[in-house]
A = this chain, B = another copy of it.
Amino acid sequence: MSLQDKFSRLGTDNAPGQEVRQKAGALELRGEALPGTPVDFSHGDVDAFTPTPGAFEVFAEGVRRGGAQAYTEYRGAAAIREDLAAKLAGFTGAPVDPAEGMILTPGTQGALFLAVAATVSRGDKVAIVQPDYFANRKLVEFFEGEIVPVRLDYMATETEAGLDLGQLEDAFRQGARVLVFSNPNNPTGVVYSATEIGRIAALAEQYGATVIADQLYSRLRYQGCDYTHLRASGIGAENVITIMGPSKTESLSGYRLGAAFGAPKLIERMEKLQAIVSLRAAGYNQAVFATWFSEPEGWMDERIRLHQAIRDDLLAVLREAGIAARAPQAGSYLFPRLPDLAVAPGDFVRILRQQAGVIVTPGTEFSPHTAQSVRLNFSQDHAAAVQAVGRMAELVARYRA
């Protein structure tokens, strides 16, 4: 593949946060703009939900520590890995080896990049869930792997995520030896059931496949949500890499911190690559990991409660407007499917921004089959979010086919 082709597939025009770089084009607008506080649903608002208390102070201590904190092994400071390994083992229910089985990265994006690079090369078949986080697909394409899509029928069920396990087995039968997926699913917020996770583990074992499990949002779980960690579900320790980080629920995204843990052979590759990609997660920033899984008593419960309240109010607005959406079980994404409109979905997203001050991420980023959906990160100011989704509903009505 030529570099030109390779990079033309790596579009970022619709990527969250990049709206400012879009070229303006003529839109046929109906009616007047809707007033209200602009809301950027493309990412969470860290001013509405602020970083973990003490994060900055721990960072400041890291700076004071000086060289010892600035320069760490490429895989991250040993003491920090030791602390985190114990916490992550407790959280996920399976051992984590701080010396050989863990790497700290610049955000979970950094971990995902390294994990895909360590497992996928030209022509390799890779099972990718649709819809799922857009970078999964782009990473496989960048390394010239071949995507084997596996459908997530998230609207057909309320008790499972809706993964088509038959398609997953077909993908493995066809030769896919890597599966990349997020749980909770990004963009829908659905959580894989114990049955689904058990089956993924069994199939990975049967076919000797590696699974890259992006669990970025696995701490933000709503009432009644049962969460099953793949790495504690009978899959061989050499067949799974789990990725987490404090950028979302904990609002520490300004520090760019992530962690990958699992198969030592793959972690070793990831470290070798990190050495030429970014060297390491910023040394001072690594210090902030100390606050992770050590938040003040009750802080996480309250954060979950507040998000659940926003989720419920937004769902009520959507349902009132006749816009289909499954209630997310975890995370802060809503993925409503809009009704048929008189304008193209991409144009509607631009209209939303222009007429309502509402920024959402187009569904095409997550799957070729979800063009009618939009993703909203509802980690926002509660009142502003409710009003913004109200404005979206009003524009949906205005532009209905």
B-contacting residues of A (Cβ < 8 Å)?
Answer: 1-3, 6-7, 10-12, 15, 17-18, 20-21, 43, 45-47, 50-51, 56, 59-60, 62-63, 66-67, 69-74, 78, 105-107, 109-110, 112-113, 118-122, 135, 138-139, 142, 253-256, 268-269, 271-273, 275-285
What 8 A-B pairs have minimum CB-CB distances, sorted nearest first? A70-B254, A256-B282, A10-B272, A254-B283, A254-B284, A106-B278, A47-B66, A47-B67
Smallest CB separation, A281 vs chain B (Å): 8
A120's closest neighbor in chain B, by CB? B3
A252's closest neighbor in chain B, by CB? B70
Among B2, B72, B253, B277, which residue has its beta carbon within 8 angstroms of that of A283? B253
Residues of B contacting A43 in the complex (Cβ-Cβ under 8 angstroms): 71
Q: Are B106 and A142 in contact (CB under 8 A)?
A: no
Give the CA-CA distance A120 to B3 in the complex, in Å.
8
Residues of B contacting A284 in the complex (Cβ-Cβ under 8 angstroms): 254-255
Among B17, B74, B110, B142, which residue has its beta carbon within 8 angstroms of that of A17? B74
Q: Are B15 and A269 in contact (CB under 8 A)?
A: no
Q: Are A106 and B106 in contact (CB under 8 A)?
A: yes
A13's closest neighbor in chain B, by CB? B272
Q: Are A269 and B3 in contact (CB under 8 A)?
A: yes
Q: Are B278 and A278 in contact (CB under 8 A)?
A: yes
Residues of B contacting A66 in the complex (Cβ-Cβ under 8 angstroms): 46-47, 50
Smallest CB separation, A145 vs chain B (Å): 11
Residues of B contacting A69 in the complex (Cβ-Cβ under 8 angstroms): 254
Give the CA-CA distance A1 to B122 in the complex, in Å.
9
Among B73, B118, B285, which residue has its beta carbon within 8 angstroms of that of A20? B73
A114's closest neighbor in chain B, by CB? B277
29 A-B pairs whose Cβ atoms sit less than 8 Å apart in the complex: A3-B118, A7-B272, A10-B273, A12-B275, A17-B72, A17-B73, A17-B74, A20-B73, A45-B67, A46-B67, A47-B66, A51-B63, A59-B63, A70-B254, A109-B277, A113-B276, A113-B277, A122-B122, A135-B276, A142-B273, A142-B276, A254-B282, A255-B282, A256-B279, A256-B280, A256-B281, A256-B283, A278-B278, A285-B285
A281's closest neighbor in chain B, by CB? B256
Among B11, B272, B281, which residue has its beta carbon within 8 angstroms of that of A12? B272
Give the CA-CA distance A175 to B392 in the complex, in Å.
55
A282's closest neighbor in chain B, by CB? B256
A66's closest neighbor in chain B, by CB? B47
Q: Are B277 and A277 in contact (CB under 8 A)?
A: yes
Residues of B contacting A105 in the complex (Cβ-Cβ under 8 angstroms): 278
Give the CA-CA distance A63 to B254 in the complex, in Å.
8
Give the CA-CA distance A245 to B273 in the complex, in Å.
21
Smallest CB separation, A374 vs chain B (Å): 19
Q: Are B278 and A11 in contact (CB under 8 A)?
A: no
A258's closest neighbor in chain B, by CB? B278
A269's closest neighbor in chain B, by CB? B7
Residues of B contacting A272 in the complex (Cβ-Cβ under 8 angstroms): 7, 10-12
Q: Are B74 and A18 in contact (CB under 8 A)?
A: yes
A106's closest neighbor in chain B, by CB? B278
- Given A109-B278, A119-B3, A139-B276, check contact A46 B70 (CB 8 Å): yes
